[in-house]
Chain A
Amino acid sequence: MSEPSHSTSKIEIRALRKSFGSNEVLKNINLDVAKGGVVALIGPSGSGKSTLLRCINLLVVPDGGSVRVADTRFAFGDGSNLPDVKTLARFRATTGMVFQHFNLFPHMTTLQNVMEGPLTVRRMARADAEKLARAQLAKVGLAEKADQYPATLSGGQKQRVAIARALAMEPDVMLFDEATSALDPELVGEVLNVIQQLASEGMTMVIVTHEIAFAREVADRLIFMRDGVVVEEGPARQVIDNPREAATRAFLSHFHRTGALPPANATS
């Protein structure tokens, strides 16, 4: 396993452990993501990949090990206190997260959804927040949907709004938790295109996905997890095209690994 030096890695996870009751979902996980790196996390359901992602922004608080994003590091386990809610909130403000089920705020318009973080968390002036939010909506190709409520949008549009909402916090890293798994097949492409665009702009990202062809295209590193451990890790194309481990081979055999990305319909 290669270990990028501290100065270049944006995310550094060491000896991470997490159990839910007697179920140990993460067993001694180490992970480094270089600045501007894109890491894809793949694996069967129950492998712990979503929990690992949620540990990076501490939506799930680990039982042991350490998490560092940019300059903020937290240690967990014996003798370390759990961070208080204010510290946690400040830390999460620097990491953007996109959820499988979008989790847009249904009582707010698209624009208000994207403005909410800048207004409430960053305490920006309303005019500045609106300008920022409109720019982010334009970036995901939804400027004209600003005044609509989420209920009137398609799944792909909702997820692009969710991405804009996360980007409006101008985060250090972006975390994608199966961002396309709840979408109709014809809507997957427009979301993947936005993610790909972010990758090309140098955003540091960790992507939990079942889109193997997409991971091969966009991620520079790929991690295959099973039963709470990292089974195989390496350059994305190498792992997908020539997996070393039998478990990785077995898992990948369920997918088309290459081929063009699904067509995008609505992204500009």
Chain B
Amino acid sequence: MYQWDFGILWSYRWLFLNGLGVTVGFTIVIVVCGLLFGLLGAFGSLSRFKALRLLALTFIEAFRCTPILVQLIWFYYALPILAGVEMTPITASALALSLYGGSFYSEIIRGGIISIDKGQSEAGAALGMTPGQSMRRIVLPQAIKRMIPALMNQSIIQFKNTSLVSVLAVPDLVYQSQVAAHDSYRPLETYTAVAVAYAAILIPLTIIVRRGEKRLAVSE
């Protein structure tokens, strides 16, 4: 029978906290940048211009249909060789994860926008709104409500995907716990604690978002 000893992890607390800080900070960056890429991808794929649609589609499928682990390695190791672009591990992984998340956000945002009845943008147009005005004032406010559950889902995946940056030696929570596990010979306790830490952050967040959704739904 295995003897659990979580007490031993206490001496690594600063290492864990440090890693947690990197993980949370990283998540904020890749969610925000990912949403920006997602907006660009969504508007591109809905554009009137074929070239823009093609460009957006290429971006979305390139990042959606290849493994994120390969993308991370490719951004860090291949770009310097092929394009002469040197990046720190942090920049490379932030970029790869933002683009990867952005490709999924794109499809969520596009789906939300086209789910709004065409009569809504027609009513905006009939009032004399430009397509941009009716998108901002009429379509997006309604579409965002519908997107929230899926956007939240994708952001949770983004948060957990940050664990992959440890392959580029970015000192996130998983990377630091590897250090702790090797040092303490206690991998079971270490990785269990890591899993609990991820859940402890995500579960309260999901509750907050669910509440927010309910409040938003009142106006419909």
**B137 interface residue per 8 A CB criterion:** yes
Q: How far is the CA of A116 from the CA of B128 in the complex (A)?
A: 11
**Contact (Cβ within 8 A) A165 B220:** no
Interfacial chain A residues near B142, Cβ < 8 Å: 105-107
**Contact (Cβ within 8 A) A117 B119:** no
**Contact (Cβ within 8 A) B131 A85:** yes
**A197 interface residue per 8 A CB criterion:** no
Q: How far is the CA of A165 from the CA of B128 in the complex (A)?
A: 12
Q: How far is the CA of A55 from the CA of B122 in the complex (A)?
A: 13
Q: Count contacts between A and B, CB distance < 8 Å.
A: 70
For residue B130, which residue of chain A has the nearest CB? A89
Cβ of A16 to closest chain B Cβ, rounded Å: 19
Cβ of A248 to closest chain B Cβ, rounded Å: 30
**Contact (Cβ within 8 A) A92 B133:** no
Q: Which of B117, B131, B138, B145: most chain A Cβ within 10 A?
A: B138
Q: How far is the CA of A95 from the CA of B129 in the complex (A)?
A: 12
Chain B 127-149 interface 0/1 with A at a Cβ cutoff of 8 Å (1 = within): 11111010001100110010000
In the complex, chain B residues 34-88 whose Cβ is within 8 Å of any chain A Cβ? none
19 pairs of residues in contact across A and B, judged by CB atoms under 8 Å? A57-B126, A59-B122, A59-B126, A85-B130, A88-B125, A92-B128, A97-B126, A107-B219, A107-B220, A117-B127, A117-B128, A120-B127, A120-B129, A120-B137, A121-B127, A121-B129, A121-B133, A165-B127, A169-B127
Chain A 139-164 interface 0/1 with B at a Cβ cutoff of 8 Å (1 = within): 00000000001010000000000100
Task: Assess A92 versus B122: contact at CB under 8 Å? Given A107-B142, A107-B220, A120-B133.
Answer: no
Q: How far is the CA of A107 from the CA of B133 in the complex (A)?
A: 15
Q: How far is the CA of A91 from the CA of B128 in the complex (A)?
A: 7
**A74 interface residue per 8 A CB criterion:** no
In the complex, chain A residues 166-182 whose Cβ is within 8 Å of any chain B Cβ? 166, 169
Interfacial chain B residues near A104, Cβ < 8 Å: 123
Please tell me the number of chain A residues within 8 Å of chain B, measured between CB atoms. Answer: 31
**Contact (Cβ within 8 A) A92 B125:** yes
**A99 interface residue per 8 A CB criterion:** yes
Interfacial chain A residues near B123, Cβ < 8 Å: 97, 99, 103-105, 162
B interface majority secondary structure: helix
7 more A-B contacts (CB under 8 A) besides A85-B130, A93-B128?
Answer: A90-B128, A92-B128, A99-B119, A103-B117, A103-B120, A121-B127, A166-B127
Q: Which of B125, B128, B219: most chain A Cβ within 10 A?
A: B128
Cβ of B89 to closest chain A Cβ, rounded Å: 43
Interfacial chain B residues near A254, Cβ < 8 Å: none
Task: Assess A101 versus B119: contact at CB under 8 Å? Given A107-B141, A120-B137.
Answer: yes
In the complex, chain A residues 85-126 whose Cβ is within 8 Å of any chain B Cβ? 85-86, 88-97, 99, 101, 103-107, 116-117, 120-121
**Contact (Cβ within 8 A) A169 B128:** yes
Q: How far is the CA of A190 from the CA of B141 in the complex (A)?
A: 31
